[in-house]
Structure 1
Amino acid sequence: MLTSLSIKNYALIDNLHVDFNNGFSIITGETGAGKSILLGGLSLILGKRADLSSLKDDSKKCIIEAVFNVSNYNLRSIFEVEDLDYDEQTIIRREILPSGKSRAFVNDSPVNLSNLQVLGEKLVDIHSQHQTLQIISNDFQFQVIDALANNQKERDNYALELRQYKKLNKELNELLSFQSNAIKEHDYNSFLLNELVEANLVEGEHEILEQEYETLNNIEDIKERLAESYHVLSDEQVGIITNLTLLKNNFQKLSSMSSKYEELHNRINSSLIDLDDLLSEIDESQNNLEADPQRLDEVNAKLQLLNNLMLKHTSSSVSELISIRDSLSEKVSVTENLDETIKEKREAISGKQQILDEISKEIHNKRSLAIPKLKRELEDILIELGMPNAQFKIEINLGDDYFSNGKDELTFLFTANKGGSFNELKKAASGGELSRIMLAIKSILSNYIQLPTIMFDEIDTGVSGEISNKMGDIMLQMSKTMQVFSITHLPQIAAKGHSHFRVYKEDIAGVTSTKLLKLNHDERVVEIAQMLGGMNISSSAMAHAKELLN
């Protein structure tokens, strides 16, 4: 519910703050006093686009702030979806800057207009004779029927299954599209894959083969240099090991004379051990080294194959070729298994359709039971609202398409005259009749679901005193379960409110401002008496006003 509203520097309003109670609140005032300004300010809170011309003083910013108690509205999920901070006392603030820019905040967090509009729809419903498009909406008509049918659980389940059904259909279409393109590429990808598979790729193989190729290709030169190296080390006359052995023996004799010589002896001995190992390795290398022209050809062929594959796939290593091979393998595998995957997806879609059909049938059955009740209640209320011949023809048929709220196709027809032909609401009802039909529907809805704050803006225009009295009774009844405002010119309705506010203009220092005053009991008597008889209040008007209030 709306608990308070503050408006600064908007249109004819300098600074206005008002607190509201639950129940039925009345707003009255002379034509042109500024009731539309009040609604305009509230509309900005609900996400309407701002207009720089609405600033009273264009050198200052306009600030409009509203506080809502949302504890009974189950809006936590809406706040989460819109990424807003949830608070049971939610504050919405709108600022229009002199530059023309507009800012909006929900619980002090900046938001855009789309956030405000989504939230605003759940908080306030402003309804006038010129705003009856909702009633002719198929979605709204289903909402009314489902409220009486208590279909919320079924609709939630249906919506969940429908999202999954649409997701599966999207995935199937993507698979079919992929299959169409993949078939064209499959043969080429298979050819490339077979090339890479037949190459028997091994991580690091290219570097190993290059080393083996260098060895096999230069084997005679390698043998010659190894033999020469072996001779340099092992020759009995001038070999390094022979001379180092002599050097070792000399320092072995000297080592007993000085620790310095002993250290040199140890170093020479260590070098001699390393050279003996080196000689053994050179000898082993000579023994293991053999020319192998066949192996040389094999290594050369494999290197040529790897080089050609790397050039073909613009890669720089066997490791990259292996990654390409694995990727091609996956593509080919997916393509080859695609028929099975598509079959499984179609089976999942078929299963989801069965679930949707079952839920849709349940929704349809409950709607079918609720429609006669809705028709009866609507026609009964409209009789009281001066439309004794109003009749509805409401029919639903279970179709084949999956709509957002089930599979039903709805026909919602109306006639205001006895013997008249049934037609769509927008064609069969006048503006005033649509307004009364909307009031009847909202009053019925208020008995079944928690509605947002509703503001009726002069929907009683042009109705008689007797009918207006009944309209007031309906609004009063609605206010038992929700917050209701009525902007009215009729005293019969104004007298039924729990709270009464008067909009008026005041001239201060040659400047006109719009004010809003909450009336006490005596002030209400005067206001209603003026609504009955004009500014010159008669004693009979005062008596009538008191009678209406009592």
Structure 2
Amino acid sequence: MLTHLSIKNYALINDINVSFSEGFTTITGETGAGKSILLGGLALALGKRADLSSLQNDQQKCIIEAEFTVSKYGLHEFFADHDLDYEDETILRREILPSGKSRAFINDSPVTLDILKSLGERLVDVHSQHQTLRLTENDFQLKVVDALANNRERITTYKQELDAYKKLSSELQQLLDFQAGANKEHDYNSFLLKELETVQLKSGIQKELETEQEQLSNVEQIMELLTQGHQLMNGEQVGIAEQVQELKRIFQNLSQYGSTYQNLSERIESVYIELDDIASEIENVEGGVEADPQRLESINGQLQQLYDLQKKHQVSSVEELVEVKSELEKKVDAVENIQSHIHEKQKECSVTEKVLEGMALKIRDARNSVIPQLKSRLQDSLYTLGMPSATFKIEINPAQDFKSNGKDDLSFLFSANKGSSYGELKKVASGGELSRIMLTIKSILAQYEQLPTLMFDEIDTGVSGEISGKMGEIMQEMSKSMQVFSITHLPQVASKGKHQFKVFKSEQDGMDTTQMRQLSEDERIEELAEMLGGKALSDSAMAHARELLKQP
């Protein structure tokens, strides 16, 4: 509930600080005193957009703070979702700077205007004659029916299942769209894949083929060089092997003259062994080298295929071709198996749809069960509010598609007079009738939901004193379970308040400013008497005022 409101430098308000209590509070004051300005200031704290015209003194900033007790509203999740510190006593603050910039805060944490507005809507419901159009909206009408039907948990569970159904439907549509587009590319992708499958693709294959190609292309030069090497190694008298063998013999003879010669002899022995092994290897290699035109042609063909495929797929290595092949395999496989995936997803959708249908049917049954009660309560309440012939025709009809709150269309028709045809509220109900219907509906909702603070702005305009008294009684009854404000010009409503505030103008430093204060018991009698009979405050008006305050 709203516990404190502070407004500084806003329109005609210089500085107002007021505290509020639970129950029913009425706000009165002469026309033009600034009651609408007070609401405008509160609206800024609740997230309404502002401009520089809001400032009384355009050299100073405007600051509006509204403090609420929010423990009953279950807002912990909202604060967590927006990374805000939760406090049972929460302060919404709005600042409008002389530069025109605006800042918003929740418990001193800066927030966007959208977040402030989202929280504000959960804390205060400002209702005026101009806002009764919401009553004509189908979603709001269904909300009323669902409140009586105790459908909250059913609809919460239904929404979770609906989210799952929408996700499955989206996935199914993606598969169908993919199939439609992929079929066009399938043949081409299959051709590309088969083309890659005809080529040996493994890491290092290109390097191996290029090395072998280089060898086969230069076989004559290789053979000539190997022959020269063999002759150099094994030539008689001057061959390297022969020379090292002679060196070996010499140092074997020297080894008997000390360890120095022994070590040299052993090293020469090692060299000789290695040279002998090299000579054998050269001979083996030389014997294996031969021209192979067919193999060279085959290698050239394989390499050309690799080069062509790399160019075709705009890559520069066999490894990248392997990746291309893998992607093509996925695409081809996806198309070839898409029908089974589609069939499986269709089955999932069908199962979920049946579950949703069952949930929607339970919601519909609950709605239908309370419609007679809702009609009766609306008509009985409106009878006491001066609409004795008001009747409703409310019907629930199955809808074609799943909606966020079920699968129903609601027909909510109204007739104000006997013999009149039924029509939609927005077409057949006057502003005053809509106000009384809205008040009645709010009073019914208050019995089933924890509504936010309700602020009625001259909802009683244009009704008689007797009827306004009944409206006041309804608001008084509502205030037993919630905080209710009523800005009113009618003493019959003002007297029903547990607390009464007066908005008035006073002069400060040569300027008219709007003030607000809570009235004492005696001040309330004078205020009510003035509302009844004017500023003269006759004895009869004073007596009538006292009588109004005594009424329960």
Alignment-mate amino acid for residue 418 of structure 2 = K
Q: More deviation in 454-463 or 395-404?
A: 395-404
User: What is the CA-CA distance between 1:2 and the residue it aligns to?
Assistant: 1.8
Could you tell me which residue of structure 1 aligns to residue 20 of structure 2?
Answer: 20
Could you tell me which residue of structure 2 aligns to residue 369 of structure 1?
Answer: 369
SS at match of 2:456: strand
Could you tell me which residue of structure 2 aligns to residue 503 of structure 1?
Answer: 503
SS at match of 2:203: coil
SS at match of 1:18: strand
Could you tell me which residue of structure 2 aligns to residue 303 of structure 1?
Answer: 303
Structure 1 residues 318 and 508: CA distance shift in structure 2, 3 A: same
- Kindly tell me the number of residue pairs found equivalent between the two proteins: 550
Could you tell me which residue of structure 2 aligns to residue 180 of structure 1?
Answer: 180
SS at match of 2:130: coil
User: What is the CA-CA distance between 1:136 and the residue it aligns to?
Assistant: 0.2
Q: Could you tell me the TM-score, scaled by structure 2's length?
A: 0.93
Alignment-mate amino acid for residue 385 of structure 1 = L
SS at match of 1:131: helix
CA-to-aligned-CA distance 1:402-459 (integer Å, 9 cap, x gap) = 2222121111011111222111111221111100100000000000011111100011
Could you tell me which residue of structure 1 aligns to residue 116 of structure 2?
Answer: 116
d(CA) in 1 for partners of 2:268, 2:37:
108
d(CA) in 2 for partners of 1:136, 1:339:
47
The residue correspondences of 1:219-368 to structure 2 (distance < 5 A) are 219-244=219-244, 274-368=274-368
Could you tell me which residue of structure 1 aligns to residue 483 of structure 2?
Answer: 483
SS at match of 1:447: coil
d(CA) in 1 for partners of 2:127, 2:534:
27
d(CA) in 2 for partners of 1:163, 1:116:
27
Could you tell me which residue of structure 2 aligns to residue 194 of structure 1?
Answer: 194
CA-to-aligned-CA distance 1:282-330 (integer Å, 9 cap, x gap) = 3443344343333222222211111111111111111111111111111
User: What is the CA-CA distance between 1:387 and the residue it aligns to?
Assistant: 1.1
Structure 1 residues 257 and 358: CA distance shift in structure 2, 3 A: same
The residue correspondences of 1:32-47 to structure 2 (distance < 5 A) are 32-47=32-47
Could you tell me which residue of structure 1 aligns to residue 453 of structure 2?
Answer: 453
Q: More deviation in 137-146 or 42-51?
A: 42-51
d(CA) in 2 for partners of 1:125, 1:56:
26
User: What is the CA-CA distance between 1:173 and the residue it aligns to?
Assistant: 2.4
Q: More deviation in 349-358 or 438-447?
A: 349-358
d(CA) in 2 for partners of 1:99, 1:3:
31
User: Does 1:465 pair with 2:465?
Assistant: yes
d(CA) in 2 for partners of 1:524, 1:252:
136
User: What is the CA-CA distance between 1:114 and the residue it aligns to?
Assistant: 2.6
Structure 1 residues 269 and 507: CA distance shift in structure 2, 3 A: farther
SS at match of 1:522: helix
CA-to-aligned-CA distance 1:196-216 (integer Å, 9 cap, x gap) = 112131122111111111122
Structure 1 residues 269 and 482: CA distance shift in structure 2, 3 A: farther
Could you tell me which residue of structure 2 aligns to residue 66 of structure 1?
Answer: 66
Alignment-mate amino acid for residue 524 of structure 1 = R
The residue correspondences of 1:507-546 to structure 2 (distance < 5 A) are 507-546=507-546
- Could you tell me which runs of 5 or more consecutive residues in structure 2 were left unpaired when the two chains were aligned: none
d(CA) in 1 for partners of 2:58, 2:258:
107
Alignment-mate amino acid for residue 417 of structure 2 = N
Q: More deviation in 429-438 or 2-11?
A: 2-11
Structure 1 residues 441 and 260: CA distance shift in structure 2, 3 A: farther
User: What is the CA-CA distance between 1:192 and the residue it aligns to?
Assistant: 0.6
CA-to-aligned-CA distance 1:324-378 (integer Å, 9 cap, x gap) = 1111111111111122222222222222221121111111110000111111111
Q: More deviation in 221-230 or 248-257?
A: 248-257
The residue correspondences of 1:393-404 to structure 2 (distance < 5 A) are 393-404=393-404
Could you tell me which residue of structure 2 aligns to residue 48 of structure 1?
Answer: 48
User: What is the CA-CA distance between 1:236 and the residue it aligns to?
Assistant: 5.0
User: What is the CA-CA distance between 1:266 and the residue it aligns to?
Assistant: 7.0
Identity of aligned residues (%): 58
Alignment-mate amino acid for residue 5 of structure 1 = L
The residue correspondences of 1:162-173 to structure 2 (distance < 5 A) are 162-173=162-173
d(CA) in 1 for partners of 2:530, 2:280:
126
Could you tell me which residue of structure 1 aligns to residue 420 of structure 2?
Answer: 420
SS at match of 1:64: strand
SS at match of 1:237: coil
CA-to-aligned-CA distance 1:470-506 (integer Å, 9 cap, x gap) = 1111111111211111111222222222222211111
d(CA) in 2 for partners of 1:263, 1:277:
22
Q: Could you tell me the TM-score, scaled by structure 1's length?
A: 0.93
Structure 1 residues 292 and 418: CA distance shift in structure 2, 3 A: same
Q: More deviation in 90-99 or 138-147?
A: 90-99
d(CA) in 2 for partners of 1:260, 1:108:
93
d(CA) in 1 for partners of 2:531, 2:273:
124
Alignment root-mean-square deviation, CA? 2.4
d(CA) in 2 for partners of 1:346, 1:231:
81
